[in-house]
């Protein structure tokens, strides 16, 4: 099944020969390799690049194990790109498989090492190569790597399939696409599964056989898989709700009967974020223009993975829709916060300060949007509740309510736009 991933392909194309190493990151199995090794390679060939000028290596393939040694890798790539009269594209898949080794040219007591970072920076100095790599886990986002690349690397972070990707590739009747996406999310291989049992097993196996093991091994955690499993379950149940490590620890104590301190929970959550399983959104005081550190919200990178954590039992449409909307905004390159609007009013002669929530405050460059996720606005009282926070924001940025109801787009007398969730995700009406 062919899935185009046009949003990310355009980013790769626009970054050709920009003098930086293109580092494609994302959760394992989200389609990074397919984007680089299939879609982008095909584009280059269509654009007139000779196949022999495209140097590809799949570093997770056992046939290429020798190139997991950084010195072997560097020597091989320089040899392949040795003709200075030609331009070469170097496509390296799963670069984190390259091991860090001791520098053989310096004494052991120096503790000097050579890593894939050294190889990539060395290749960047060559005028006739354009370098692209994929990486799947925290090893690609460690502070050391980030410091080493500085302004010499461009991260292109990709997500599981957006609804637009999913809808375009959905093989059956399109009217069932939304139902399937809400349940099973956008991990590409899900589209190849036919039954609920097959899809559920695939998503659950990703956790048990890939993600959890990877988190433990990469971070050398002492936690057992059961603890991490339960933490993910607790977070999955609280998607769209404000929380923090203290609240999560209390939930463990009251619901699971497990006593875990705040610090380990915070560490584990950080590991899940580094592995791209979870994302977090801080609260932002819109009028005060300041951030509120805690509590905050956690979202799953893919809603199907979230549902699989809970064996597809907790299907709260409002929380699922909010998570999907968060992921969509992230895929469009926005920074995302949870908005807070405070106001004073009088109740029974007493002055009261109330906080209202705006689901998402999204920013990109000089653009900002306030976005509310609402399952329904059919009832006027419910609609007023949803827009109360938006109506108390006195700046001129666009305000949008994304609605689960199958409505035609419209704008109210205060300038608030209303749009159906599918129309928004497919960019049929409003293009942010």
Lowest-confidence segment of 152-156, 178-182, 328-332 by average pLDDT? 152-156
Report the pLDDT value the prediction gives residue 350, as an integer from 0 to 100: 85
- pLDDT tens per residue across span 316-345: 899 999 999 999 999 999 999 999 999 888
Q: Kindly write down the DSSP assignment for every residue of 89-102, as one continuous string.
A: EEEEE-GGGSPPEE
User: Could you tell me which residues come within 8 angstroms of residue 108 by beta carbon, excluding any fewer than 6 positions away?
Assistant: 102
Report the pLDDT value the prediction gives residue 137, as an integer from 0 to 100: 61
Residues 298, 280 contacting (CB under 8 angstroms) = yes
Closest CA to 160 of 194, 129, 126, 191: 191
Across 366-385, average pLDDT: 94
Q: What is the mean pLDDT of the chain?
A: 92
The helix (H) or strand (E) run that includes residue 198 is helix 196-205
Report the pLDDT value the prediction gives residue 220, as an integer from 0 to 100: 86
In this structure, how many other beta carbons lie within 10 angstroms of the beta carbon of residue 197? 9
Residue 25 pLDDT exceeds 70: yes
Report the pLDDT value the prediction gives residue 141, as an integer from 0 to 100: 55
Residues 370, 390 contacting (CB under 8 angstroms) = yes
Confidence category of residue 146, pLDDT binned at 50, 70, 90? low
Residue 147 pLDDT exceeds 70: no
Radius of gyration of the chain (CA): 24
Q: Kindly write down the DSSP assignment for every residue of 119-168, as one continuous string.
A: HHHHHHT-TTEEEEEEE-SGGGT-HHHHHHHGGGEEEEE--S--HHHHHH
Report the pLDDT value the prediction gives residue 423, as an integer from 0 to 100: 96
The three-class DSSP label of residue 282 is strand
Helices (H) and strands (E) counted in the chain, each on its own, are 17, 15
Report the pLDDT value the prediction gives residue 344, as an integer from 0 to 100: 86
- pLDDT tens per residue across span 122-140: 999 899 999 999 987 655 6
Residue 256 pLDDT exceeds 90: no
Q: Kindly write down the DSSP assignment for every residue of 359-398, as one continuous string.
A: EEEEEETTEEEEEEEES---SHHHHHHHHHHHHT--S-SE
Report the pLDDT value the prediction gives residue 17, as an integer from 0 to 100: 96
Across 51-66, average pLDDT: 96
Q: How does strand 367-374 pair with strand 398-403? A: parallel
- pLDDT tens per residue across span 211-249: 998 888 888 888 778 889 999 999 999 998 999 988 998
Q: How many CA atoms lie within 13 A of 271 on its CB side?
A: 22
Residues 133, 98 contacting (CB under 8 angstroms) = no
Report the pLDDT value the prediction gives residue 329, as an integer from 0 to 100: 97
Closest CA to 205 of 29, 391, 383: 29
How far apart are the C-alpha atoms of 345 and 349, rounded to whole Å?
9
Edge-to-edge strand list for the sheet holding 398-403: 290-300, 278-285, 335-347, 350-364, 367-374, 398-403, 417-420, 410-411
pTM: 0.92
Q: How does strand 21-25 pair with strand 290-300? A: unpaired
Question: Which one has a higher pLDDT value, 351 or 151?
Answer: 351
Confidence category of residue 432, pLDDT binned at 50, 70, 90? confident
Report the pLDDT value the prediction gives residue 139, as an integer from 0 to 100: 59
Confidence category of residue 41, pLDDT binned at 50, 70, 90? very high
Token couple for 288: 């005060």
How far apart are the C-alpha atoms of 326 and 373, rounded to whole Å?
10
Burial class (CB in 10 A: 0-12, 13-18, 19+), 33: middle
Residue position matching structure tokens 């460059």: 365
Report the pLDDT value the prediction gives residue 140, as an integer from 0 to 100: 62
How far apart are the C-alpha atoms of 339 and 381, rounded to whole Å?
22
Residues 399, 415 contacting (CB under 8 angstroms) = yes
Token couple for 314: 């907790």
Across 377-397, average pLDDT: 94
What domains are defined for the chain? 6-157 (3.40.50.300)
Report the pLDDT value the prediction gives residue 227, as an integer from 0 to 100: 86
- pLDDT tens per residue across span 196-210: 999 999 999 999 889
Across 160-183, average pLDDT: 93
Report the pLDDT value the prediction gives residue 39, as an integer from 0 to 100: 97
Report the pLDDT value the prediction gives residue 381, as an integer from 0 to 100: 92
Residues 384, 413 contacting (CB under 8 angstroms) = no
Report the pLDDT value the prediction gives residue 315, as an integer from 0 to 100: 77
């Amino acid at each position: 099944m062919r899935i185009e991933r046009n949003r990310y392909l355009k980013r790769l194309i626009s970054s050709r020969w920009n003098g930086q190493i293109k580092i494609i990151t994302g959760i394992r199995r989200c389609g990074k390799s397919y984007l680089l090794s299939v879609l982008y390679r095909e584009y280059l060939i269509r654009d007139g690049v000779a196949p022999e000028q495209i140097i590809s290596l799949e570093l997770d393939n056992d046939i290429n194990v020798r190139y997991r040694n950084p010195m072997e890798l560097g020597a091989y790539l320089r040899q392949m790109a040795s003709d200075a009269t030609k331009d070469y594209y170097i496509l390296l898949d799963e670069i984190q498989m390259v091991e860090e080794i001791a520098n053989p040219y310096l004494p052991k007591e120096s503790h000097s090492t050579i890593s894939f970072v050294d190889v990539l920076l060395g290749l960047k100095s060559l005028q006739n190569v354009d370098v692209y790599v994929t990486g799947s886990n925290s090893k690609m986002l460690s502070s050391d790597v980030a410091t080493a690349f500085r302004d010499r690397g461009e991260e292109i972070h990709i997500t599981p399939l957006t609804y637009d990707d999913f809808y375009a590739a959905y093989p059956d009747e399109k009217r069932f696409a939304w139902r399937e996406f809400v349940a099973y999310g956008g991990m590409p291989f899900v589209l190849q599964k036919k039954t609920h049992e097959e899809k559920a097993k695939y998503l659950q196996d990703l956790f048990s056989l890939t993600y959890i093991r990877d988190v433990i091994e990469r971070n050398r955690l002492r936690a057992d898989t059961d603890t991490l499993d339960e933490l993910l379950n607790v977070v999955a149940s609280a998607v769209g709700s404000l929380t923090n490590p203290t609240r999560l620890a209390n939930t463990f104590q009251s619901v699971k009967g497990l006593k875990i301190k705040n610090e380990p929970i915070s560490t584990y959550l950080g590991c899940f974020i580094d592995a791209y399983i979870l994302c977090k959104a801080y609260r932002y005081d819109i009028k005060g223009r300041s951030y509120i550190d805690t509590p905050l919200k956690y979202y799953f990178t893919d809603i199907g993975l979230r549902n699989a954590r809970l064996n597809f039992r907790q299907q709260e449409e409002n929380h699922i829709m909010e998570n999907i909307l968060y992921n969509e905004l992230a895929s469009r390159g926005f920074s995302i916060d949870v908005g807070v609007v405070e106001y004073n009013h009088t109740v029974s002669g007493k002055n009261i300060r109330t906080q209202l929530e705006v689901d998402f405050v999204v920013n990109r460059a000089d653009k900002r949007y306030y976005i509310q996720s609402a399952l329904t606005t059919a009832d006027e009282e419910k609609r007023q509740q949803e827009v109360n926070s938006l109506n108390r924001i006195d700046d001129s940025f666009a305000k949008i309510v994304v609605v689960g109801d199958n409505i035609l787009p419209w704008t109210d007398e205060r300038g608030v736009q209303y749009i159906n969730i599918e129309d928004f995700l497919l960019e049929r009406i409003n293009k942010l």
